[in-house]
Every structure is written in structure tokens, then in C-alpha cells.
Chains A and B, each alone.
Chain A
Amino acid sequence: MRQNCVLCDFPKLDNSEFCELHHKARLSLDECYKIWFKAYNGELTMQSYLQEVLKLQETGQAVKEMATHLLKPQSRSSEDEDNINNL
């Protein structure tokens, strides 16, 4: 049976738990964190970054949904935690 994205009713991608849109939002968030991290002189945690992104009106809707999802402690995978620690 085909499964839906954990954040909406669209079908999830084969290699992800998200639909195409939310998967893209997730990739954008990851990619942009590197730029934000550098912009704030290496003094920005993933959590603060997500909170900042959520406050901005320019942030896309799918990104906001993804950021909210990632901020819930239970939704962060161990891989996410590793990423945060590595940066």
C-alpha cells in the first residue's frame, strides 16, 4: 500500500518519509544551515537556526512545516543529531 508523507496527504517518496515538496524543504533547510552557520560566525545551533527560520515571513510554508516538525524532539533522527553535533 502506498504511504503518505508524515506532514501532509501527498504520497511519500520511495527514499524518504516525506512527499516531494517536504523532502525538498528538508534538503533546502540542510543546505542553507551551512550558510547561516557561516553568516553567524559559527555560533548558531541547529535549533536556533530552525527557530529563526520559523520567525521569518519570507520562509516558505513547506519549510515552516518541516522546521516545526524538526523542532519536536521525537522527530529528530539520530542522523540529525549527528549532523548538528558535527557542525
Chain B
Amino acid sequence: MKTTLIICEKPDAALHLAEALSESGKASKRQKHGAPYYEIDAKDGRIIVCSAVGHLYQVDVKGRPDRRCYPVWDFAWKPKYQVEKGQRKQELWLRAITELSRDVDTYINGCDYDTEGSLIGYMILEHACNGAAQIAKRMKFSTLTARELREAYANPMPRLDFPLVNAGKCRHEVDWLYGVNLSRALTESAYKFSQRYSTLSTGRVQGPTLRFVVEREKEISTFVPLPYWTIEAIVEIDGREMAAEYQVEKLETNREAEQVVEKSSGKTGIVEDLESKKYHLTPPTPFDLSTLQAEAYRHFGFSPSQSLGIAERLYLDALISYPRTSSQKLPPTVGYREILSDLSRIPRYEQYSNTLLSAEALRPNEGKRIDPAHPAIYPTGISPKRRLEPREQKVFDLIVKRFMATFGSVATKQSEKATIKVDNQMFFVRGSRILEKGWIEFYEPYSKLEEIILPPISIGQEATFKKVLAEKKFTQPPPRYNPSSLLRLMEEENIGTKATRAEILDTLYRRGYVKGERIVATSVAFKVTELLLKYCPRVIDVAFTRELEEMMEKIESGQETREHVISQTVENLKPIIEDLKAKEAEIGKELTKTIKEMKTAEITLRTPCPQCGSELRIIRSRRTGKRFIGCSGLWKNNCRFGLPLPQFGVLTLLEKDCRECGFQLIQVKTKGKRPMISCPRCFQAKRQSMISSKSG
């Protein structure tokens, strides 16, 4: 009997595939060394479906690794459990796959169809399945629905997608070469000078991304606000008061503003002109990953990596199509009517789906971006089989509504403008009304149209200026990036990939280079960027990074080879790293000072000691190991002021102060839980009152 082994990317995907391929729809789950797999007796033989748990192999130093040595140019792909500590599960997982791969006739890579999925499957087939990558087939699918999975199994590609595999391998190898050499150069320089270990990192994409933040920070830091004046007027027409705007939005001088007020205040003008204009709002384009991340951030405040994680869970539940896509296209083959008809079974989407289904033809408003591997993100129409968590529910709703909105008709609005003349000056009263709601009906509450209905106004009518005020304002500095806008910038500049950008932002936060929702560059970020600019400007040059990115993209289409890109990378990096190594002492000195300052700032509170006015700091007791807030005036003033702190999670001092007592707030973050924000002083007060009430 013929045996087929299919490797999936994740256990949930393996379950969906096994269920889709078994005639009963129920696959029998088995386990080997703790790794689940499924066996199906199909018409054409036995099918074994097993899975990876993401990447099981990674790049590392060739031979015996030395974690502190650099530069390193020789690398090899190794099982992850050999490179990272605590990966016993992965070792057993690989052993299970190797054992399952014996006596198999056909091998199929059933991982997600993209660079990473192609690489994950290739590595397992090549290294754990005795070189089976050379004879393996490739399944291609965009959703985990039974229909699509069966089709992908019945019509696999005859060979693995080697250009994608090579592009994936090359990206990991290039990133490793950059990351390991540059990061070790920084970390070792600081360590050799201070004999204290602080992890510093930079990389091919991380460096230029950090530079964006630092450059913006410089713009904000050197910003001088400029004064200007606006005119705020209230006019009365036919007994109704309404806001009017002056013909010039911003007046540059105080005198001009005063003159406008003088000429119009308390005067009566005449309606000189009436204008109305219709304009159309075209439906939004289907979601690609970055627009989904931007919308999820805008409406729910989810970071790009959170949104990606949620979308991946929805994909693994077969609720949406593959989310790591750059496409804004929805080809008819996805089955618009079937999806809408399935969605109509979910009560909250019933009415909207039926409205769309009643249309003669369905045509989505596609965007320009394409992705050869996948269409845009769309709901599969399958109803959730489990109760979705609130955050999953939000993203799911956003995706469903966006999908429906793309099929909606154009929305039409009418704007109205009445021009009032007073003492040779023009003021405008504006209104707007919705004529046709179109696609907005499907996308509410994520899009809203507001109306300002004007009363009937006619030319020649009198308008009395009840109030005219000149308001002094100041120009604003450029806005700080937020995770969503920074991700968009990375995409526009073509650095990183849709799969890696969100992770790079997380690394910037983890390393202490940036902080806050409105991203602020820390002093270490300034120092690292300054040093890189000074010693190896090419490393953080966006154009250079983009060039390398384009070279790697060419591997996918066969226009470039992996070997050439790697040799170019080594050639470029070698002189840079050697130069950095020669200047270790100088770099270490500069870095150490900044790190020390940042670490002190991280533990020093803004709020002074309420007893002696000295600085308050987070202190860890040498005796008990517990952390608490203590006063730095202990030795000088014998001040014994102290406040308890939570002993769990990562503690951060926030910029905000307590509304009750004005003390600086703290935040404690524990993995998998929502951050806890608390006021140490109020906590202490409550605790004391509880103790005294108990004892009383």
C-alpha cells in the first residue's frame, strides 16, 4: 500500500488537513515522542499528516559555537534544539518526523505557501527525512478550508518551489551574518570596557529602522513652534447661529488677525454665493497584511505583531485566508457568493450579506498590490467553532466587514458652502449631507460619515457676525511614529518583509532602544545610531538595505543566485566588522556611559521623596532579593521613606502620574497577561488602612 507523508507548518494546520482528507471528516490522532500526527486510510493509500512547530532548523556558526567570538563568516543550518537551550520538545518532534518518514513513497510539503513555509518544509524534508526534499511535492493553498485543502492535495506541484526555498535560506543567512557580527561587535565593545554584560543588537533591517526613529526624534528635538492666528466666527442667519471660517486659514501676523476681527465683529454681511458639490468615496481595497495591521492599530490599538498573531490564529481556525500576504486582489476563484452566503448564517452579518447577494454582479474594488503566492485577506465564510476571545472577535469582525465593504457601491456626499462678504472680507459657512451611504453601510463602525445640515440659505440674505475671535496657535512638531506608521514606512522603503517587520519593532522595544506607544528613541538608540553612522554608515543606509532586499527578491524569480548574494554580503561586511573590532575600546567607552545613564534613568522616579525631597529609586534588597522604592537620601538625610513594589513581572516607570495623589505610576508586565498599572503610594495607603481596620 502506498504511503504519503505530508509536513504541515503548525499542529492546527495538520489537524485541518487531516480532517479534510479523511472521508469521515474525523482523523485519528496519534502521538510519537509527544508529537501529534494523523493517519488516514484513503482510497489511494495511507496518508500521514504531521507538523513542524515553526522553524525547526536555524543558521548558526559552523562547527563548535563560541557565543562571544566575532567576526564569524562560516555558517551551517543546524537543528534549533542544538543551537538554543530548552528546546527538548523540538528534538523529540524531529525524531518523530524522522521515524514517520521511513517507508514512505510520496513526500509533500504542506506548509503555508510562502518563503518561510517553503523553507520550513524543505529543511525538514532534506535533513530529517533523508534528503526527501529532492523528490517531494508541494501543496499550494491560501485557506485551511476542507475544499481548498482537498484540491491542493489532489493537484500538488510536482517539485518543491526551490526558488522560494533559496530566497528564504538566503534571507536567514544574510540576516544572521549581519545580526551576529554587528550585534557582537557592539555587545563585546561595551563588555570589554565595563566588564558588565548588556545585550545590544543591530541588524540589516533593525539598524535603518532605528535610524528612522532617531531622525524623527532629532526633528522633534530641534523643533521651534511658529505662531499663527486663526479666526473663529459665529454668524446668525435667519435666527440660526452657525460657525463660519475666515477665507485665510492661518494668518501669519498678529496685526492681520486684529484687523479681521475689527472689520467684522458685530457687523452684518451678505450671503454672496452658494455652492454645492457632489463627491464620491470609493470603497476600500481588500486587506493585505500591512493595511490590516494599520486598521487594527487605528481602531483597537493593537500592535502590528499582536494583529499578526491574532490573524494567524483566525487562519489556523480556517476562519480567514492566509494573512501574510501583500496582495490587495480578490480573484473570483475565492468564491464571493459562497463566502457571502456562508456569512449570512452568522446573525450579525446576515442582513449585509443578503444585501450584497441580491446584487446582480459582485466586483471587489481591488488595490494595486499583488502577491504571486496568495490573494488578499478574506473571510472563508466558516462560522467560528469556538468562542473567540474579544481581541480575535474584533479582528475577525474587521476582516469580514472590510471584505463586504469592498463589494459595496460608491458612497456619495454633497458639500455645501455659503460665502458671506463683510467689509471686503470673505467668510464661509460649510455643511455636508450624505446622499448615498454605499459601502460605508457595510464597514460601520470602522468608517463613519458625519453630516452638518445647513438651514435653507439664499443669496442676498443677511448674516450677522455675533462673535469673531482671533486665536493664537502654534505649529506642531512632526508626529512621533507609532507601531503602525513605522511599519508602513518600512514597507514604503521596502526594507524587511511582511513576515519580519513586526518582529523587528518588538526587538527595538526589547532592547530598550525605543519606548512608548508614540515611539520615543532612548539615549542608547541615539548612541548606537551615532556610532553606526560614524563607523559603518552603509549598515544603516536605507538605500543599501533596499538594494540588498531587491537582490534577495530576485532569487525568487531566478534572476539572482543565493551564492552570489551571500558572497557579496561577506565582501561588504568584512572590512566594516574588522574596523569595528579595531576600535572596540573607543566604541565601548562611548556605549558604556550611555548604557549606565539609561539604566539609572530607568530606576529613578520623577516624583521626589515626599519626606526629604531626594530622588526616589527602585532598589533591590541584597538581603531578601525583593525590590522596593527607596529614598536616595538614606545616607545623607537618614530618610527611611519606602514603598513596596510587586515582585513579579517586568516593571516600568510610566510617564503618567496618579490622578489621586500625583505620584508617578508604574506598570508591571507579565507574559500572556494584560499590563497592570498601579500607584505605589496609593497601594501602600490602601494596604495600611486595611491593616489598621483589621486590627481595629
Contacts and interface: CB of A to CB of B under 8 A. Distances in A.
B254 A39 contact: yes
B471 interface: no
A1 interface: no
A60 B530 contact: no
Interface in B220-251: 220-228
Interface in B308-340: none
A3 to B, nearest CB: 14
Contacts of A60: 220-224, 477
Interface of A: 9-10, 21, 24-25, 28-29, 31-32, 35-36, 38-41, 53, 56, 58-63
A58 B254 contact: no
A53 B477 CA distance: 13
Given A9-B593, A56-B474, A25 B222 contact: yes
A32 B593 contact: no
Nearest to B477: A58
7 contacts: A10-B530, A29-B224, A36-B227, A39-B253, A40-B227, A56-B225, A62-B221
A38 B475 CA distance: 16
A63 B221 CA distance: 7
A21 B474 CA distance: 22
Nearest to B593: A9
Nearest to B252: A39
B477 A41 contact: no
A24 to B, nearest CB: 5
A25 B222 CA distance: 5
B224 A59 contact: yes
Contacts of B228: 39
A38 B253 contact: yes
A21 B593 CA distance: 19
B224 A32 contact: yes
Contacts of B474: 56, 58
B624 interface: no
A24 B224 contact: no
Nearest to B527: A10
A22 to B, nearest CB: 8
A63 to B, nearest CB: 5
B255 interface: yes
B224 to A, nearest CB: 4
Which of B224, B475, B526, B593 has its CB near the most chain A CB atoms (within 10 A)? B224
B278 interface: no
Contact of B226 (A24, A39, A41, A63): A39
B593 A28 contact: no
Contact of A32 (B220, B226, B254, B526): B226
B218 interface: yes
Contacts of A31: 224
Across the A-B interface, give the 5 residue pairs with the lowest CB-CB distance, nearest first: A32-B224, A62-B221, A58-B225, A60-B223, A60-B221
B559 interface: no
Contacts of B621: none
Given A10-B530, A38-B252, A39-B252, 11 more contacts: A21-B222, A31-B224, A32-B226, A39-B227, A39-B228, A41-B255, A58-B223, A58-B475, A60-B477, A62-B221, A63-B224
